[in-house]
């Protein structure tokens, strides 16, 4: 058995995390988020693949790579949450646990449409509104699930 990964996938505009609307998304950058996620897998035998793209087709391709044999997927689809049916279809094919993460509480945002992520219907769980800490919590959960599976 080769190296097992947790895939952490980030959608559009998250490359500007830390400078884009810090009153909503905070001042942590994606580099900070990746470092926190790497701390969560340290010593577990798992590694992470951390990616971001503003292009929907990149996320679809990465989901295809991750769908079999991964310890899990953490995805922040960002604005793709609301209408990216190709990402939704790719998530449906994933055979591993998937945690959807949103930095802000999408249910308390300014526009009602932001509370309606189409991805939520197919993911294992969702973390919303805990800032960038939500990523590390999602990774910790996937590590726990993986350890349980190995012990069984």
107 is a catalytic site residue = no
82 is a catalytic site residue = no
Q: Alpha-carbon distance 74 to 94, whole Å?
A: 12
Binding residues for substrate: 76, 89, 103-104, 114
Task: Report the side by side order of strands in the sheet with 4-10.
Answer: 46-52, 4-10, 72-76, 98-102, 125-128
Q: Alpha-carbon distance 15 to 52, whole Å?
A: 7
Catalytic residue chosen out of the listed positions 25, 82, 107, 135: 25
Catalytic residue chosen out of the listed positions 102, 107, 135, 141: 102
**Tokens 């960002």 -> residue:** 78
Binding residues: 76, 89, 103-104, 114
Which residues have a catalytic role annotated? 25, 102
């Amino acid at each position: 058995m080769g190296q097992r990964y947790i895939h952490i996938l980030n959608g559009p505009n998250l490359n500007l995390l830390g400078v884009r609307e810090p009153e909503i998304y905070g001042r942590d950058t994606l580099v900070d988020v990746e470092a926190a996620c790497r701390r969560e897998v340290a010593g577990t035998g798992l590694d992470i693949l951390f990616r971001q793209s503003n292009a929907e087709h990149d996320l679809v391709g990465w989901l295809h790579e991750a769908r079999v044999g991964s310890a899990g997927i953490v995805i922040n689809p960002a604005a793709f949450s609301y209408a990216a049916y190709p990402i939704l279809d790719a998530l449906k094919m994933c055979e591993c646990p998937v945690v959807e993460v949103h930095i802000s509480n999408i249910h308390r945002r300014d526009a009602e449409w932001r509370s309606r992520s189409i991805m939520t219907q197919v993911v294992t769980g969702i973390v919303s509104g805990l800032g960038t800490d939500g990523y590390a919590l999602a990774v910790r959960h996937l590590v726990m699930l993986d350890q349980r599976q190995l012990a069984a």
